[in-house]
A and B are shown apart, each in its own frame.
Chain A
Amino acid sequence: MVSGWVLRGVVSAHLVAVFGQPVFAGVYLSGDFDGLRMHAVGADIVTSLGYLQVIAAAVVWVRLRQLWPFVASLGVVVAETVQYFAGQDGALWLHLPLGVMTVAAVVVLFIGVWRQPVVRREVEHA
């Protein structure tokens, strides 16, 4: 039960943080130099929340026997890690589309964890 609510919390925070990234990128490209720092700090926060989410999803997998949040979170974290380095290297051809996809993936995860009841699967039918 608790693990399910923790995952919902982390995913929600992750969603908020990841929505900040395009905002800061826009601020930066408008010529505001500080936008880059915000985008970089944002990247640290988003990636950290991503790793926390993987841990929370692993616990949900063990405690509630729900595998998909873990697999999906792992995918998002891989994407965010690639995204982090693509941004640092200035590989914008990758950074922009992958960024859009990462945001979309976090949105889907958010909907998923809030739709799914926070109960142990087998217990439900036992």
Chain B
Amino acid sequence: MRERMSRRQVLGIGGALGLVGLGGLSSAAALSRRPASTGAVLRSAVPLPPAFVVPLPIPSVLSGADIEIVQREVTAEILPGVPTRLWTYGGTFPGPTIESRRGHAVTVAHRNELPVPTVVHLHGGRTPAESDGYPTDLVLPAGWGHVGHVGHGMHDPRAVTSEVTREYRFPLDQRATMLWYHDHRMDFTAPAVWRGLAGMHIVRDSSEESLGLPSGARELPLMIADRAFASDGSLAYPSIDPTLQMQPGVQEPYIAGVLGDVILVNGAPWPVSEVDAARYRLRILNASNARHYDLEAVLDDGRRLDLVQIGADQGLLRAPVVHRNLPIAPAERYDVILDLAQVSIGSRVRIVNRLGSGRTRDVMAFSVVRKAADSSRVPDVLSDDLPEWQRSEAVRVRDFSFRAGQMGDGHGWLIGGQPFAPDRTDVTTRLGDVEIWRLVADVHHPVHLHLVGFRVLSRGGHAPLPHDAGLKDTVSLRPGESAEIITRFDGYRGRYLFHCHNAEHEDMGMMANLEIT
């Protein structure tokens, strides 16, 4: 017969195990990011302005069939009294908002006067491959020739480069929605967008206009982006090569993503907008490299206003969806109605980020300054043209993992275990095929498909979340989360991309080729 443990021993050992367990769990609670976040914060080295003082700017508007944009470096004042060097589309950050109509083709001639090559991608655009801004289809600045392709490690025989200017042709044969255009250069997208290469592009159509939604001054495009400022007023960014010419990548602590400590809306820090006591249509874009937001509208007395979602990345929903708070990942857009009619004159509605802390909790504010008539409405049915693909229509199901891994000698981000290579076709599909893609993430990965919109079929093995409604082009996966999406690959044949829209992940390998034949 074996020796029995004494009661004392049992209590002692049990107590010790219990203590170790408790210690482990409390360290997990103390050390972990709750809520989870992916990326590291870069702190500004200049004094930051108070929130809700700088007025909200609205970017200038360009329209017409032929548009010219000069990409150039300017000095602008983002923080009051602090000059900041920016890379811009047309001299401003954000760049001009392009307004166009569904089915009316637009040609945008981009002239590159920046010191590096650029590539323009219209995010969410149903665009022929030659104008989709493939990362190696560089627009070289004048005199770049002798520098050659240094820094763009992999040779891509299919690349079509241009000298100084390139005309991008956008047929815009797609649902009315808000798209955005930004730099997409191989290996250097994140720092180029950070320096200012981003702008909005709105596509309208008559059926949307017939709904009676708030419009004109009561429709506000809002580009939310976080940045950090160095002591000399420049935008701080932890590039390995600050010239953005040779060596791609960011310093080791920032490989999960670069988060700024200043929240800009339309290029202004924590701005305030003076508004009527009326309904507003907010066309929200998260143009941040890595920061996620969970937005809510809060009155100064703590009451929250509903955020009524009417549209997703790819246009109007079938019916409005009411949110108390609305998560938005990098590159996602939400079309939201904020009804300020019942807000008393003189009060303030703050848009806050529930995922932020300290100053990054604030985003912007609306100051309700006057009563006004409001003839706008939000119909119960917004659209009836959303594609309804059935699971049974899918000819293929593909699985992709989005996770950290080894890339060359360093850390990178992989899709299906592989870092991006321009000359490797990862997915080949036939024009018109319906496919289901099952995406699994290790940390936060906002996954974006070029060319097509998709529906979210499930998230984490369950029904999609309320904000997954409608037609999307970017789906935000949280740590350990998965989603099933369904789409039809139609529009154009050619070489496209799908990738993580955490811009740092994208630059560090998390991109793959999608060939439509």
Q: Decide yes or no whether A5 CB sits under 8 A from chain B.
A: no
- CB-defined A-B contacts under 8 Å, sample of 8: A31-B401, A31-B403, A32-B399, A33-B438, A35-B440, A90-B480, A93-B32, A101-B21
B6 to chain A, nearest CB (A): 12
The A-contacting residues of B in range 26-66, CB under 8 angstroms, are 28-29, 32-34, 36
Q: Given the complex, which residues of B lie within 8 Å of A33, measured CB to CB?
A: 399, 438, 440, 482, 484
Q: Decide yes or no whether A19 CB sits under 8 A from chain B.
A: no
Query: CA–CA, A32 to B479, complex, Å?
Result: 15
Q: Which of B10, B34, B400, B401 contacts A29 (CB 8 A)?
A: B401
Query: CA–CA, A93 to B482, complex, Å?
Result: 18
Q: Which of A68, A92, A98, A105 contacts B25 (CB 8 A)?
A: A98
Give the interface residue-count category, chain A. 20 to 34
The answer to whether B10 and A93 have CB atoms under 8 Å apart is no
A71-107 vs B, Cβ < 8 Å mask (1 yes, 0 no): 0100000000000000010111110111001001100
If A32-B401, A36-B440 are given as contacts, then 11 extra A-B residue pairs at C-beta distance below 8 Å, sorted by A number, are A29-B480, A31-B403, A33-B440, A37-B461, A40-B461, A88-B460, A90-B481, A93-B36, A97-B28, A115-B2, A117-B1
Query: CA–CA, A40 to B461, complex, Å?
Result: 9
Secondary structure at chain A's binding surface: helix, strand, loop or mixed? helix
The answer to whether A29 and B403 have CB atoms under 8 Å apart is yes
What residue in chain B is nearest A36 (Cβ atoms)? B461
B74 to chain A, nearest CB (A): 42
Query: CA–CA, A96 to B438, complex, Å?
Result: 23
Q: Given the complex, which residues of A lie within 8 Å of B479, measured CB to CB?
A: 90, 92
Q: Given the complex, which residues of A lie within 8 Å of B403, measured CB to CB?
A: 29, 31
The answer to whether A93 and B28 have CB atoms under 8 Å apart is yes
B355 to chain A, nearest CB (A): 14
Query: CA–CA, A93 to B460, complex, Å?
Result: 17
Task: Please report B residues at the A interface, Cβ cutoff 8 Å.
Answer: 1-2, 10, 14, 17, 21, 24-25, 28-29, 32-34, 36, 399-401, 403, 416-417, 438, 440, 442, 460-461, 478-482, 484
Q: Given the complex, which residues of B lie within 8 Å of A28, measured CB to CB?
A: 440, 480, 482
What residue in chain B is nearest A71 (Cβ atoms)? B14
Q: Given the complex, which residues of A lie within 8 Å of B2, measured CB to CB?
A: 115
What residue in chain B is nearest A93 (Cβ atoms)? B32
Q: Which of A40, A93, A108 contacts B17 (CB 8 A)?
A: A108
Query: CA–CA, A98 to B25, complex, Å?
Result: 7
Query: CA–CA, A72 to B13, complex, Å?
Result: 13
Query: CA–CA, A125 to B1, complex, Å?
Result: 14
Known: A29-B440, A31-B403, A32-B399. A94 touches B17 (CB 8 A): no
Question: Among A93, A105, A115, which residue has the most Cβ atoms of chain B within 10 A?
Answer: A93
Known: A29-B403, A33-B399, A33-B440. A94 touches B25 (CB 8 A): yes
What residue in chain B is nearest A88 (Cβ atoms)? B460
Q: Given the complex, which residues of B lie within 8 Å of A30, measured CB to CB?
A: 401
The answer to whether A93 and B480 have CB atoms under 8 Å apart is no
A88 to chain B, nearest CB (A): 8
The answer to whether B461 and A31 have CB atoms under 8 Å apart is no
A34-57 vs B, Cβ < 8 Å mask (1 yes, 0 no): 011100100000000000000000
A1 to chain B, nearest CB (A): 16
Q: Given the complex, which residues of B lie within 8 Å of A35, measured CB to CB?
A: 440
Q: Given the complex, which residues of B lie within 8 Å of A88, measured CB to CB?
A: 460
Query: CA–CA, A68 to B25, complex, Å?
Result: 23
B403 to chain A, nearest CB (A): 7
Query: CA–CA, A108 to B36, complex, Å?
Result: 32
What residue in chain B is nearest A96 (Cβ atoms)? B28
Query: CA–CA, A36 to B24, complex, Å?
Result: 25
What residue in chain B is nearest A68 (Cβ atoms)? B10
Q: Which of A90, A91, A101, A105 contacts B24 (CB 8 A)?
A: A101
Query: CA–CA, A97 to B401, complex, Å?
Result: 23
Q: Given the complex, which residues of B lie within 8 Å of A117, measured CB to CB?
A: 1
Query: CA–CA, A19 to B102, complex, Å?
Result: 56
The answer to whether A90 and B401 have CB atoms under 8 Å apart is no
Q: Given the complex, which residues of B lie within 8 Å of A94, measured CB to CB?
A: 25, 28-29
Q: Given the complex, which residues of B lie within 8 Å of A104, measured CB to CB?
A: 17
The answer to whether A97 and B417 have CB atoms under 8 Å apart is no
The 6 nearest A-B residue pairs measured at CB:
A31-B401, A93-B32, A33-B438, A97-B28, A101-B21, A33-B399
Query: CA–CA, A91 to B478, complex, Å?
Result: 10
The answer to whether B482 and A36 have CB atoms under 8 Å apart is yes
Query: CA–CA, A37 to B440, complex, Å?
Result: 13
Query: CA–CA, A97 to B461, complex, Å?
Result: 23
Query: CA–CA, A40 to B10, complex, Å?
Result: 34
The answer to whether A93 and B34 have CB atoms under 8 Å apart is yes
Query: CA–CA, A105 to B1, complex, Å?
Result: 25
A123 to chain B, nearest CB (A): 15
Query: CA–CA, A108 to B20, complex, Å?
Result: 14
Q: Which of A93, A101, A115 contacts B29 (CB 8 A)?
A: A93
Query: CA–CA, A92 to B440, complex, Å?
Result: 15
